[in-house]
Amino acid sequence: MPSMHTYDYAVVRVVPRVERGEFVNVGVIVSCDAAGSLAARIELDPAIQGTHLKRYTLTSMLHVDTVERAMPWVDLMLAGRAPHSSLNAGTRHRAAALLAVGATVLVARRRPLAAAAAVAAFAALNADLYATIARSRGGREAAPAVPLHLLRRGSAAAAIPAGVALHLRRRYSAAT
């Protein structure tokens, strides 16, 4: 019968911003002095889904999505330190962002029918998302999904020129 040993372990945790209390456990380190073993495993799987357990306000959601996520990501992409394929930048996402910006511009130019058409196209493009929300959360919670999603896509589009400006500022600051 093999002898029993006590193993120690430590969880490897990524904490992007301590003050927000966000973290992701990405691995484990296991050791046993008696057996003379030490092992570690890190697993990063983009298919793993997480759940936000904190409550966002509209303002904090837009701030986090735009200023703390999208703008730094654009900066990293331009610096060549982030893969372009890891963003939600597929054809459908780009089309949705353009429709969100277009709807905003059309409202500002007092073209309500054209703006409504852009919103309808945006909703049709994302119908599967809204159907999933309606099935899982009900129609009452699905109703605000379109305007909130429009706002998020619009803020993501706005983050692109802001992220480019951030990148250029950092690059210029580093050169001087």
pLDDT digits (tens, 9 = 90+) for 29-55: 999 988 889 988 887 777 777 666 667
pLDDT value of position 54: 66
- Indicate whether 79 and 141 sit together in one domain: yes
Residue range(s) defining the domain that contains residue 25: 1-54
Q: How many domains does the chain have?
A: 2
pLDDT value of position 102: 94
Query: What percent of the chain clears pLDDT 90, i.e. is strictly above it?
Result: 30
Domain boundary among 14, 39, 54: 54
What pTM, to 2 d.p., does this model score? 0.62
In eight-state DSSP terms, residue 24 is E
CA-CA distance, 74 to 82, in Å (whole number)? 9
Write out the two tokens for 145.
Answer: 């999904």
CA-CA distance, 153 to 70, in Å (whole number)? 11
In eight-state DSSP terms, residue 35 is T
Please report which helix (H) or strand (E) contains residue 60, including its range: helix 58-63
| pLDDT, tens only, 61-113 | 888 888 888 888 888 888 887 666 555 567 888 898 899 999 999 999 999 99
**Are 8 and 32 within 8 A, CB to CB?**
yes
Domain boundary among 54, 73, 96: 54
Secondary structure tally for the chain: helices H, strands E = 7, 3
